[in-house]
Amino acid sequence: MAITNCLTYLVPIALAVLIMVHYPEPELPADILAMRRTGSYFSFKSTANGDHLRIFFRDLKGSGPATRNLFLLHGFPVSSSDWNEVIPGLQEEFGRLIVPEQLGYGLSDKPWPHNYTIFEQADIMEALLKSSGVGNAHFLCHDTGLTVCLEMLARFNARNADKDTRDSGVVIQSFAFNNGGMFSALTTPTLMQRLVLLPVLGAAVTAVAPRFVTEKSLMEAFGPRTKPSRQSLNSAIALMYRQRGAIVLSSVIAYIHERAVHEDRWIGAMISTSIPVHYIYNPADPVNKEETFQHFKKTVPHATTSRMPEHIGHWGMLEDPETFLARYWQFFSTVSK
């Protein structure tokens, strides 16, 4: 018992030392500093321990109708910077864009140790939208952001079914997403993801892995002809490693286990919803392969779908922003009539 108690304290300390040695707090590149200046912080009180957690978000004005709002949620493992290439185009049609960063990502707080869950992320996003006075919004999400938004969709469906709660939260007007794991049996985690998921060892892997291993893992998720520039890669790494980010990765990635447990609830949210649903598929994504796309079309037959060019990998909005916007506008034109 004494040995176990000792290890409980020694392991986190040892890992913290490794983080300090291998990943000193990175300097944020100029493009990320500029992004930070356009945003602000929302304080969320954790229901687990009462801590006040700071969530970075951007509340951006557009030239579209003032009542037309868009909620953008990024995925694992970087930040809302994933949307930067398409934000100017989206601002042309929307009056307001809410672009947050999930807890444990990017410029938001990264508490550790912390029990990161999709349910808490959804709580945070709902509280942020309420605090921002957003009563209705179109949703556009990617990767882990899809999972969080699916939980928000499940809650919306439940509220909408009861006239007493129908007006108690944000009204989701449409639901569009780019690649994200939905069917646990069909998702193919990368080697780095599988290692990070290992209990305890996963934290050690992220703590001691050389930077080039993390860069290689990111690069492999891009398409063969659309790899990120060195500047873009440096910005992504700086955001990932900020504020103990390397070790936090092993905690936030636990969403993969949650997907398996709550798959029926989250897929069921799309099946049962009455709002328009659209999937923009990236064919060269090594994590979400063709069988995922085909299975989705069979499982959610009322949803509409579109494909990015065959060489586009996991980040459609970064790899080919012009085509991504064209696919989204094709869907949105049917919603906004």
Check residue 177 and give its pLDDT: 98
CB 148 within 8 A of CB 156: no
Average pLDDT over residues 156-180: 90
The upper half-sphere exposure of residue 184, i.e. CA atoms within 13 Å in the direction of its Cβ, equals 13
Higher pLDDT, 99 or 161: 99
Identify the residue whose tokens are 């799309």: 270
Residue 104 has pLDDT above 50, yes or no: yes
List own/partner pairs for 87-92 with CB under 8 A and 24 or more apart.
Answer: 87/60, 89/321, 89/325, 90/62, 90/140, 90/325, 90/328, 91/60, 91/61, 91/62, 91/63, 91/64, 92/62, 92/63, 92/64
Query: pLDDT-derived band of residue 102, with 50, 70 and 90 as boundaries?
Result: very high
Cis ω for the linkage preceding 77 (within 30 of 0): yes
pLDDT in tens, 196-248: 777 666 776 776 676 788 888 899 999 999 999 999 999 999 999 898 888 88
Average pLDDT over residues 94-98: 98
Give the dihedral sign, CA 75/77/81/85.
negative
- Report the distance separating Cα 24 and Cα 107, nearest Å: 16
Give the dihedral sign, CA 113/117/121/123.
negative
Mean pLDDT for the chain overall: 90
Residue 99 has pLDDT above 50, yes or no: yes
Q: How far is CA 208 from CA 13, 111, 233, in A?
A: 14, 19, 19
pLDDT in tens, 243-282: 888 888 888 988 998 999 999 999 999 999 999 999 999 9
**pTM for the structure as a whole:** 0.92
Query: pLDDT-derived band of residue 167, with 50, 70 and 90 as boundaries?
Result: confident
Percent of the chain with pLDDT over 70: 89
- Report the distance separating Cα 150 and Cα 270, nearest Å: 8
pLDDT in tens, 28-80: 999 999 999 999 999 999 877 778 999 999 999 999 999 999 999 999 999 99
Q: Which residues contact 266 (CB under 8 A, 6 or more apart)?
A: 147, 150, 151, 154, 182, 259
Average pLDDT over residues 307-322: 98
Residue 115 main-chain phi, psi, to 5 deg: -90, 90
Check residue 249 and give its pLDDT: 86
Check residue 196 and give its pLDDT: 75
CA dihedral 211, 216, 222, 223 (to 10 degrees): 150
CB 191 within 8 A of CB 183: no
Beta strand pairing call for 52-61 and 69-73: unpaired
Specify the CATH class of 2-335 in words: alpha beta
Residue 22 main-chain phi, psi, to 5 deg: -90, -30
| Domain ranges within the chain, ordered by starting residue | 2-335
